Amino acid sequence: MTTNEPAAGGARVVAHPLVQHKLTLLRRRETTTAGFRRVMREISLLLAYEATRDLALETVTIETPLEPMEAPLLSGKKLCFVSVLRAGQGILDGMLDLVPSARVGHIGLFRDHTTLRPVEYYCKLPDDIAARDVIVVDPMLATGHSAAAAIARLKQAAATRISYVCVIAVPEGLATLHDAHPDVPVYTAAVDRGLDANGYIRPGLGDAGDRLFGTK
């Protein structure tokens, strides 16, 4: 899988043709709820491949059907996916297909439609989060306030190795997240034009949560 040079704000745009093809399917207005959910799961698996590129490996001795050999395995399998509720669940499912042994955390945030600021209503993280590589998942990086708040919450819990995966970002959100957490790399399938007056990504793909769960 190839990745373009980092965009403004440090985002690593995954330019693989399959990722871009699936993103177009997600953007289409006529994509059904079932189709949107399926394609989100597929694109998430591909993004996870890129976001886990730097996981540590260790060498172990195994037996093949023909002979023993030294072979690489993930070192300790210390990985945690943290879903920003509710839309983050759409990415989480695909990532767990790739790394089913990963631990899972959840942070519940909703956006105040007047201030566009996040309000936390739920947080449940593994007790050993400080010892894990953490990947935060949420389909849309819009204003960046929810992403910054979620990562701040993780740092309060002593997490230190954190990355962020989304399907679509915008320059405003990337700037907000980078200003708050310059140490956190961002992986995305696209950086769109920007936000409208209501804080929605344009051209975007609509409300990811509503399209995942058929609530609109």
Q: Looking at residue 166, which CATH number applies to its domain? A: 3.40.50.2020
Q: Of residues 53, 210, 211, 215, which has the active-site annotation?
A: 210
Q: Is residue 182 part of a domain?
A: yes
Region of 116 please: left (phi>0), alpha (psi -120 to 50) or beta.
Answer: left
Residue 150 · residue 181 · CB < 8 Å: no
| Residue ranges at the known binding site for uracil | 201, 206-208
- Given the residues 2, 61, 115, 127, the one annotated as active site: 115
> Chain-wide mean pLDDT for the chain?
90
The answer to whether residue 20 sits within a structural domain is yes
Indicate the pLDDT class of residue 2, thresholds 50, 70 and 90. very low
| Domain residue limits at 154 | 8-205
Active-site hit among 27, 38, 111, 161: 111
Residue 4 pLDDT > 80: no
Q: What is the pLDDT of residues 22-67, one digit of tens each?
A: 999 999 999 999 999 999 999 999 999 999 988 889 999 999 999 9
Report if residue 104 sits inside a domain: yes
In the chain, the amino acid numbered 91 is I
188 annotated active-site: no
pLDDT of residue 3: 53
Residue 132: exposure state from Cβ atoms within 10 A (0-12, 13-18, ≥19) = buried
With respect to residue 56, please indicate whether it lies within any of the assigned structural domains. yes
Which of 90, 168, 152 shows the shortest CA–CA distance to 118? Answer: 152
Active site residue 133: no
Is residue 16 assigned to a domain? yes
Task: Give mean pLDDT, residues 157-169.
Answer: 95
Asked if residue 3 belongs to a domain, the reply is no
Annotated binding site for 5-phospho-alpha-D-ribose 1-diphosphate: 86, 111, 138-146, 207
3-state secondary structure of 96: helix
Residues 77-92, mean pLDDT to the nearest whole number:
90
15 compared with 216, residue with greater pLDDT: 15
Q: Examine the residue annotation and report whether 32 is marked as an active-site residue of this protein.
A: no
Determine, yes or no, domain membership for 138.
Answer: yes
Q: What is the pLDDT of residue 6?
A: 54
C-alpha dihedral (2, 161, 204, 6), degrees to nearest 10: -40
210 is catalytic: yes
Please report whether residue 210 resides in a domain: no
Residues 167/190, Cβ–Cβ less than 8 Å: yes
Domains: count for the chain: 1
Average pLDDT on 154-182 reads: 95
Placement of tokens 């759409």 in the chain: 90
